[in-house]
């Protein structure tokens, strides 16, 4: 899992990494340059000492080879190895690194006429100095890395301060504050350009919101006016004794549909509000809503051989708008009625759970992951595809949990748990 980091952290890491890479490269270059230079000096010393000893031996064959704290010389005359240490006998002419006990030597081997000359330089002290240099350079790399990181933090703080200030202003602004331009206090730089982009985007959003708000208000007014006319006409027709029972049933369905539409409009307007203004809406007895919804949509069963079983608990009361609860439950029951041709529909409310199950057509397996999407419907669906998505939105708004199980041609079960 990738953990997001803020800009200040990323700048500090970049500076620390950059300092570490540069200091490490310089330290390695310095170390290998010093090591190479030391070896060259040792080789030059060996060459000079050998030349001097060979010249002295030509003048005086009895001259003894060098023997100091750091230099040790040996001569192998002809093919005799008498007096020559065993660790030198296999060495050929040239330069060699030799380890003897706890000491490390740089060895120069030269053949002059019939003699072979050996000169050993004790490089132990030089190796200790090289190790000390390596430790010192390592400490410098760590120190430079830490200083680079601290410098990056300090620099990032000053660089990101305007961005942080802009973010704080955006975060703390209320709806009424956006009328004042955000870019007034910023210069014509990158942060100022970002503030101006915010202002332009906010202006477009405010204009869009105002247009949507005006459309909602106008549509709501016109819809309520039309519904009021339909309801008043339906009420007058229901009171007309000259109508037959069949005609009154049809008018009653018109009256019921108009009232449902009025309640749906109110509920949808309520859903469109911000959550901060969306209070619980008072107590709502789930059992009474279930009973009304079961009877209200029973006409959908017509003459289907379907048995409806209802078990509710009148003691359950949820803090929610009754209209929204009715929309949610009505959608579930209406779906069960519409897609069950025979069998049983069960509406069971126990504790804080409400389950609507049926023995109807069910939902195809490939559609299970999309049933709560807006306007989604399978090939057998007859609706507009907003019922279950609206139920899901209402549950999400109140923090209720919804669970759906279904098998094609075996039925569907939807469970809502009220938190």
Q: What are the two backbone dihedrals, phi and then psi, of residue 312, each rounded to the nearest 5 degrees?
A: -130, 165
List % helix, strand, coil for the chain (3-state, nearest 5). 60, 15, 25
Residues 400 and 414: their CA atoms lie apart, in Å, by: 13
Q: Is the pLDDT of residue 30 over 50?
A: yes
Is the Cβ–Cβ distance between 105 and 121 less than 8 Å? yes
Task: Work out whether the CA dihedral 34, 35, 40, 46 comes out positive or negative.
Answer: positive
Which residues fall within 8 angstroms of residue 291, CB to CB, at 6 or more apart? 310, 312
pLDDT for res 282: 64
Cα dihedral value 72, 75, 79, 80, nearest 10:
-80
Which residues fall within 8 angstroms of residue 156, CB to CB, at 6 or more apart? 7, 8, 9, 11, 12
Q: What is the DSSP string of 317-349?
A: EEES-HHHHHHHHHHHHHHHHHT-SSEEEEEEE
Q: Are strands 306-311 and 283-285 parallel, antiparallel or unpaired?
A: unpaired
The average pLDDT across 22-50 equals 93
pLDDT for res 4: 54
pLDDT for res 196: 86
**Cα atoms in the 13 Å half-sphere on the side-chain side of 216:** 14
208, 285, 344 from 354: Cα distances, Å: 39, 12, 17
pLDDT for res 415: 95
Q: Coil, strand, or helix at residue 83?
A: coil
Cα 297-300-304 angle, rounded to 5 deg:
130
Letter string b/e over residues 161-175, b meaning 16 or more CB atoms within 10 A of that residue's CB: ebeeebeeeeeeeee
Which residues fall within 8 angstroms of residue 126, CB to CB, at 6 or more apart? 38, 42
Chain centre to alpha carbon of residue 87? 65
pLDDT in tens, 167-223: 887 787 776 666 677 777 777 788 888 888 888 888 888 888 788 777 777 777 777
* Reported confidence tier of residue 24, pLDDT bands at 50, 70, 90: very high
> Based on C-alpha coordinates, what's the Rg of the chain?
46
Residues 372 and 279: their CA atoms lie apart, in Å, by: 24
pLDDT in tens, 261-297: 777 777 677 666 655 444 445 688 999 999 999 998 8
Q: Put the strands of the sheet holding 115-122 in their side by side order.
A: 71-77, 115-122, 103-112, 94-100
The average pLDDT across 40-52 equals 93
Residues 322 and 339: their CA atoms lie apart, in Å, by: 26
Q: Is the pLDDT of residue 6 over 90?
A: no
> How many other C-beta atoms lie within 10 A of the C-beta of residue 215?
10
pLDDT for res 384: 44
The average pLDDT across 20-31 equals 94
Residue 177: closest CA among 199, 194, 197, 193:
199
pLDDT in tens, 306-325: 999 999 999 999 998 888 89
pLDDT for res 276: 46
**Cα atoms in the 13 Å half-sphere on the side-chain side of 277:** 6
pLDDT for res 277: 47
pLDDT for res 375: 56
pLDDT in tens, 95-138: 999 999 889 999 999 999 888 999 999 999 999 999 999 999 99
Q: What is the DSSP string of 136-198?
A: HHHHHHHHHHHHHHHHHHHHHHHHHHHHHHHHHHHHH--GGGGGS-SGGGS-SSHHHHHHHHH
Q: What are the two backbone dihedrals, phi and then psi, of residue 314, each rounded to the nearest 5 degrees?
A: -65, -10
pLDDT for res 109: 93
pLDDT in tens, 331-364: 899 889 988 999 999 999 998 999 999 999 888 8
Longest dimension (CA), the chain: 154
pLDDT > 90 fraction of the chain, expressed in percent and rounded: 38
Residue 163: closest CA among 192, 127, 139, 140:
192
Q: Of the given ranges (8-22, 367-381, 396-410), which has the lowest mean pLDDT?
A: 367-381
Length of the chain: 419
Which residues fall within 8 angstroms of residue 308, CB to CB, at 6 or more apart? 294, 298, 301, 344, 345, 346, 347
Give the chain's mean pLDDT. Answer: 84
């Amino acid at each position: 899992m990738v953990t997001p980091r803020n800009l200040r952290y990323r700048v500090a890491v970049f500076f620390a990494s950059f300092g570490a890479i540069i200091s490490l490269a310089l330290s390695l270059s310095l170390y290998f340059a010093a090591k190479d230079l030391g070896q060259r000096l040792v080789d030059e010393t060996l060459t000079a000492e050998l030349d001097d000893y060979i010249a002295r031996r030509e003048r005086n064959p009895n001259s003894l080879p060098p023997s100091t704290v750091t230099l040790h010389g040996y001569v192998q005359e002809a093919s005799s190895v008498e007096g020559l240490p065993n660790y030198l006998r296999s060495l050929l002419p040239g330069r060699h690194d030799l380890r003897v006990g706890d000491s490390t030597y740089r060895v120069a081997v030269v053949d002059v006429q019939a003699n072979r000359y050996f000169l050993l330089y004790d490089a132990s002290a030089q190796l200790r100095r090289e190790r000390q240099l390596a430790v010192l350079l390592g400490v410098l790399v760590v120190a430079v890395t830490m200083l680079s990181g601290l410098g990056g933090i300090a620099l990032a703080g000053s660089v990101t301060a305007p961005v942080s200030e802009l973010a704080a202003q955006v975060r703390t602004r209320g709806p009424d504050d956006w009328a004042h331009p955000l870019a007034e206090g910023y210069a014509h730089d990158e942060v100022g350009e970002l503030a101006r982009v915010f202002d332009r985007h906010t202006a477009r959003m405010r204009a869009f919101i105002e247009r949507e708000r005006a459309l909602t208000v106008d549509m709501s007014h016109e819809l309520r006016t039309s519904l009021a006319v339909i309801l008043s006409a339906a009420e007058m027709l229901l009171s007309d004794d000259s109508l037959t029972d069949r005609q009154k049933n049809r008018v009653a369905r018109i009256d019921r549909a108009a009232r449902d539409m009025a309640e749906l409009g109110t509920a949808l307007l309520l859903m469109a509000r911000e959550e901060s203004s969306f209070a619980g809406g008072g107590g709502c007895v789930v059992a009474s809503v279930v009973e009304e919804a079961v009877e209200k949509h029973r006409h959908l069963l017509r003459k289907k051989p379907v048995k409806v079983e209802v078990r509710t608990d009148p003691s359950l009361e949820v803090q929610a708008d009754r209209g929204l609860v009715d929309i949610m439950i009505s959608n579930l029951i209406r779906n069960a009625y519409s897609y069950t041709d025979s069998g049983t529909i069960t509406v069971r409310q126990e504790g804080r759970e409400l389950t609507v199950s049926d023995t109807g057509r069910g939902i195809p397996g490939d559609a299970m992951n999309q049933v709560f999407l807006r306007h989604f419907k399978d090939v057998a669906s007859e609706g507009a595809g907003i019922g279950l998505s609206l139920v899901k939105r209402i549950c999400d708004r109140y923090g209720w949990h919804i669970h759906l199980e279904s098998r094609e041609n075996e039925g569907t079960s939807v469970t809502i748990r009220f938190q």
